[in-house]
Amino acid sequence: QQQVKQSPQSLIVQKGGIPIINCAYENTAFDYFPWYQQFPGKGPALLIAIRPDVSEKKEGRFTISFNKSAKQFSLHIMDSQPGDSATYFCAASRYTGTASKLTFGTGTRLQVTL
């Protein structure tokens, strides 16, 4: 059962464009929603995260928008650069009392062209 659905699978934008990646979740017990960035041959790296008590969070050029009622969240990359070309994963998590288990989306391969 896929608990976090991510779209699109791939995305090509020109430099300066604003790619948007969307995710939807099913489990209302999730209480933490991170985005990870992964470059080829590297491990995923935490990019930005949000909790369900806020609707938006910005860190530099990266913004998460969160819609609790729709159970959806999205990543926006402002003024995208070729260096942003990577695979992006959304995830959802719930604290189990001992640690937080992450459920990942299927990933979006982003290419930013000149």
Partner 1 sequence: DAGVIQSPRHEVTEMGQEVTLRCKPISGHNSLFWYRQTMMRGLELLIYFNNNVPIDDSGMPEDRFSAKMPNASFSTLKIQPSEPRDSAVYFCASSFRNYEQYFGPGTRLTVT
32 binds partner 1 (CB under 8 A): yes
Q: Which span (9-17, 58-66, 69-77, 90-98) binds partner 1, by CB under 8 A?
A: 90-98
Asked, as a colleague might, if the bond just before 52 is cis with ω within 30 of 0, I would say no
1 binds partner 1 (CB under 8 A): no
Residue number with CB closer to partner 1 (80 or 107): 107
46 binds partner 1 (CB under 8 A): yes
Q: Which amino acid is at 87?
A: T
Residue number with CB closer to partner 1 (69 or 96): 96
